[in-house]
């Protein structure tokens, strides 16, 4: 990524989620939904690829050739798939964009971010353990159930119809921002996405929840692995 030109060099887009029909409509699969929407919009495709531990594919936009990946390793083991594909294709962490569900943003909100920590998300945590923290993130708001003890069941269930509509509107906006991201850079795409429509306030954790390290932290094993 060149800071002097403001241009991004994203070469690989990863959508996080859990495999299987039973998880297809879970909130936790918002990253999968994003990659599927990208493939539809830009005539790309994803298909099973054993050496990358997931569904892999690509699409082209003008001079840009982007790789797509949907790990099928379960959420908390996503890093092995990301590392396998990026190492094989010699793609650097800063050239990777990871799309994931975000509890701290309301449905309808989507945010771009460069680097950072896992924020309690075990999919991100595992990727960081495999390739470090320097990859970019697309944070897709799914809202918070309001109680840390309900997070697991919340992310592993489908959103209501209105929430689902808002989440997919946000995903659509993120998909439409890809030409801007590739052509004019991360900052321009970030500004466009972050200034769209209304800005729902992020969920604010209560003191009791801050003390509880489980926010999304139990996100690990088939129930555990799926989280």
**How many Cβ atoms sit within 10 Å of the Cβ of residue 73?**
20
Instruction: Give the least confident one: 117-126, 188-197, 207-216.
Output: 207-216
> DSSP alpha helices (H): ranges in 67-219?
78-89, 122-131, 151-155, 161-176, 178-184, 186-194, 207-211
Among residues 23, 28, 144, 168, which one is catalytic?
Answer: 28
- Letter string b/e over residues 52-69, b meaning 16 or more CB atoms within 10 A of that residue's CB: bbbbbbbbebeebebbbb
- Band (pLDDT 50/70/90 cuts) for residue 209 is very low
Domain boundaries, the chain: 12-226
The token pair at 202 is: 């992020």
Task: Specify the pLDDT at position 224.
Answer: 59
Active site (annotated) includes residue 144: no
The Cα 114–Cα 98 span in angstroms is 10
Task: Specify the pLDDT at position 227.
Answer: 73
Instruction: Give the least confident one: 42-56, 129-143, 155-169.
Output: 42-56
Q: Are 141 and 110 in contact (CB under 8 A)?
A: yes
Task: Measure the CA angle with vertex 122, ends 212 and 137; round to 5°.
Answer: 115
**Domain 12-226, second-level architecture:** 3-Layer(aba) Sandwich (3.40)
The Cα 82–Cα 110 span in angstroms is 22
């Amino acid at each position: 990524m060149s800071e002097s030109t403001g241009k991004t060099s994203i070469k690989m887009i990863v959508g996080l989620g859990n495999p299987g029909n039973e998880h297809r409509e879970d909130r936790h699969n918002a990253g999968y939904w994003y990659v599927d929407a990208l493939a539809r919009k830009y005539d790309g495709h994803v298909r099973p690829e054993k050496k990358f531990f997931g569904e892999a594919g690509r699409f082209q936009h003008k001079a840009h050739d982007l790789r797509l990946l949907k790990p099928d390793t379960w959420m908390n083991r996503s890093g092995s798939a990301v590392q396998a594909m990026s190492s094989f294709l010699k793609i650097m962490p800063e050239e990777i964009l990871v799309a994931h569900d975000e509890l701290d943003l309301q449905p309808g909100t989507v945010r771009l971010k460069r680097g950072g920590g896992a924020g309690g998300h075990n999919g991100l945590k595992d990727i960081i353990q495999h390739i470090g923290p320097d990859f970019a993130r697309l944070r897709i708001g799914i809202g918070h159930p309001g109680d840390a003890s309900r997070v697991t069941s919340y992310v592993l269930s489908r959103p209501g119809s209105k929430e689902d509509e808002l989440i997919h509107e946000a995903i659509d906006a993120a998909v439409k921002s890809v030409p801007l991201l590739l052509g004019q850079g991360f900052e321009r795409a970030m500004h466009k996405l972050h200034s769209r429509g209304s800005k729902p306030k992020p969920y604010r954790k209560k003191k009791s929840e801050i003390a509880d390290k489980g926010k999304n932290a139990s996100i690990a094993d088939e129930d555990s692995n799926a989280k």
